[in-house]
Amino acid sequence: MLIYTIAYIVSFILSRISFNEVSGIVLIFAAIYIYRKRYKESSNILDLLGVYGLGFIAAQGIACFKLSYLQNKWLPLTWLCLYLAYACPYISYHILNKQFKYNKTIKSITELKSNISKKQLNIIYVAMILLSNISLAAFLTEAAVLSYIPFFVRGVPHAYSYFHIRGVHYFTVSCVLVPSIATIYILYADKLSKVKLISIIICILVSVLIPILCVSRFQLIFALICAILTMMAIKRNIPIKLIAYTFMLLVVMYVILTIARSHDVKYLNSIFEMRYNLPIFISQPYIYISNNYDNFNYLVSHINSHSFGLKSLYPFIALTGLKFLMPTLADFPIYVVKEELSTLTLVYDAYYDFGILGIIIFGVLLGCMIYLLERLMYTKDNPIIYLIYAQSTLYLLLSFFTTWFSNPTTWFYFAISVLIYIAVFLKSRLLKL
C-alpha cells in the first residue's frame, strides 16, 4: 500500500505540471505492481484485490494521457476520491483477513470433484437448461412484440437500445450466465453422455446467439469472458494460448457488432474529439476507458446536492417497480462531460450519494465483499461460488466502466446465481440427512 501511495502522489504532481503521459505511466506501473504482489501472496491469478487494482488504477493511468479535447485537469478532490476508491477496500479486506483467518489451501480439480455428488451436479445441469429456455422464450417474446431483431436492422444506430420490454429483458440477457454454468458442469462431471453434450452445446449456442441478435457487444463479451474466468477460478492452469485465441475472437465479434450497430467511423470520431488522428480501434477503447474518470471529475465539480443513498439503491427501486410508482426516487440528473459518453466509474454513485464519505463507505463494503467471496471459495464445496466469483472478478476488472453495483442487471445476475447456489446447497444437506 505504501508503494501505491507514493506512486499516486508522484502521478498527481506530474499531472499538475502537465506531464500527462508520465503521470499515466506511473499509475499503470503501480497497478501492475499491486497485481503482481497480490498474486505472489495468494497464488490466485484472479485475486480480487489484484484484479481491482489492475482494472481501476491502470485505467486511471490511461485516462491521465489526456488524448481527447474533452479531457481537462482533475480537481485535487477527484484525485483523493479515486485514491480512496482503492485504498479503502484494501484496508478493510486486510483488517478482516487478519482478524478472521482461514485455510487458503488451493484444492485440485480432483479434490473439488470428489466433494460433490451426481445429484448436486444434476441441479446445475437443470439450472443451465432452464435458464437457456427462459432466456430464449423472453427473447422471442420481445422480437414478436417489437416486430424486429436489432441485428437485421440497418441505418438505425440505436435500434439495440429500443429492443427492450420492461421486466422481460432481464430474462432475455440472463443467458450470459449459461456458458459459465456449462463450464462448471463440464469440469465437475466425470463423463458426458451424447444427449447431455448436445444439450450443453445447444445451450451455449443459444446464449451466444441472443447477444449477437440483440447487437449487445457487452453481453456477448460478458458471457464469454465470464466463462473463461470461471474456468480459471476452478482449474488455475488455463493455457495462455486459449486466452489469447479467445481474446482475438472477442475482438472480431466486437468489430462485427460495432458495424451492425450502424455507427460509422466519422460519427464516432466526431463524438470522441481526439487530439490526434488515431485509428478507431484505438480511439474508441481509449474513450470508453478514460472518459469515465472525466465524468467522475465533472460530477465532483458540478454536483449541487447528494442523493443520500437513493442512487445506490436504484437496483431495489427498479426491480421492485417502485420507480414506476414513484418516478422521483430515480429521477436524478447525470453529470457527464458529453451526453453521448455516459459511461461511469464504479464509485460514481457512491460519491453521488454522500460525497467523499460515500466513497469511504462503498470502499469498506467492497473490501468486506472481497473477503467474503474469497473465504467462500476456499472453504466451501459448492461449485456455484465460482460463478459468483467470476462475475465479481469481471465487474472489478471493468471497474473503470460503470457503476456495476447500482445496476439492476448486476443484481439480477447475482440473484440467479445465488438461487442456484442455494439449490445445490440444499441438495447437499438433504443428502446428509
Walk along the chain (433 residues) and give the pLDDT tens digit of each residue.
889 999 999 999 999 998 999 999 999 999 999 999 998 888 888 999 999 999 999 999 999 999 888 888 999 999 999 999 999 999 999 999 999 888 877 777 777 877 788 888 999 999 999 999 999 999 999 888 888 888 777 655 566 667 778 888 899 999 999 999 999 999 998 888 889 999 999 999 999 999 988 888 788 888 988 998 999 888 876 665 666 666 666 666 666 655 555 555 666 677 777 887 777 777 778 888 888 999 999 999 999 888 888 888 888 888 877 777 777 777 788 899 888 788 889 999 999 999 999 999 999 999 999 999 999 988 888 899 999 999 999 999 989 988 888 888 999 999 999 999 999 988 777 766 5
Residue 145: per-residue pLDDT: 86
CA-wise closest residue to 190 among 131, 259, 268, 118: 118
* Phi, psi of 170, deg, nearest 5: -55, -40
Using alpha carbons, list the distances in angstroms from residue 256 to 73, 216, 259: 35, 11, 5
State CA 150 to chain mean position distance: 24
The DSSP output letter for 167 is T
What would the DSSP string read from start to end of 103-151? --PPPPHHHHHHTS-HHHHHHHHHHHHHHHHHHHHHHHHHHHHHT--GG
Q: Which three cell numbers stand for residue 99?
A: 482478524
- Report yes or no: 123 and 427 within 8 Å, Cβ to Cβ: yes
What would the DSSP string read from start to end of 340-374? TB----TTHHHHHHHTHHHHHHHHHHHHHHHHHHH
Q: Which residues pair with 338 in a beta bridge?
A: 341
321: left (phi over 0), alpha (psi -120 to 50) or beta: left
Residue 428: per-residue pLDDT: 73
Q: What is the pLDDT of residues 96-140, one digit of tens each?
A: 999 988 887 777 777 787 778 888 899 999 999 999 999 999 999
Q: What is the residue whose three cell numbers read 445429484?
A: 119
- Report yes or no: 219 and 211 within 8 Å, Cβ to Cβ: yes
Cα(378)–Cα(100) distance, integer angstroms: 14
Cα(74)–Cα(261) distance, integer angstroms: 33
Q: What is the pLDDT of residues 161-196, one digit of tens each?
A: 677 788 888 999 999 999 999 999 999 988 888 899
- CB-based contacts of 395, cutoff 8 Å, min separation 6: 346, 404, 405, 410
Q: Quick one: which H or E segment has residue 423?
A: helix 408-432
Cα(344)–Cα(352) distance, integer angstroms: 12
Residue 257: per-residue pLDDT: 58
Taking the alpha carbons at both ends of the chain, their separation in whole angstroms is 48
